[in-house]
Amino acid sequence: TLTTPTPALAAAQAKWEAKVIREQIALSRWSMIGPFQTAKFEETYDKPFPPEQKKVDLAAIYKVGERTLSWARPQRLVDGKPLRLGGQPNAARYFVRTITALAARKLVISLGSDDAIKVWLNGKTQFENKIQRGIDQDRDEVELTLSAGENQLLIKIVNGAGESGFY
């Protein structure tokens, strides 16, 4: 019976426990900054604004023309729900979070954007989609290769015209 410990049962239990530990991840809350704007959609998409130039510092403050931008943690930014970002034309907003993995592993994420999107993990480009479209869930699927420990996920959403959003 299963109540009687056996070497095979102990080995199966150890294997299962190791798998559960390996798959565990922790997600920080999202932080957001922007908008960074230029005169044209293509320029905004291609231009590396400060958040993508080096590892994100959530205490950083950026002077952009007459405005000062800093990272914020909006309460309305919740996984699985679309976030409307307003209608600034040719504008980029950045979202960052830390994904902590107990062991190296793959993680598939599903994203939606209005309009274009770029994704980095630990400073390396993982995905790009230069497109103009409305927001909807599950538009793009990205497989991330997480390292054991902390991993920084950075996402850039670029709006061309009309409303913008992130999912």
At 6-16, the pLDDT tens digits run 888 777 777 77
The predicted structure's pLDDT at residue 21? 58
| Cα–Cα distance, 152 to 140 (Å, whole number) | 19
Q: In this structure, how many other beta carbons lie within 10 angstroms of the beta carbon of residue 115? A: 23
Reported pTM? 0.83
Segments in the chain below pLDDT 70: 1-4, 17-23, 134-138, 167
The predicted structure's pLDDT at residue 84? 81
Paired tokens of 95: 């979202």
pLDDT in tens, 91-116: 999 999 999 999 999 999 988 888 89
The predicted structure's pLDDT at residue 133? 72
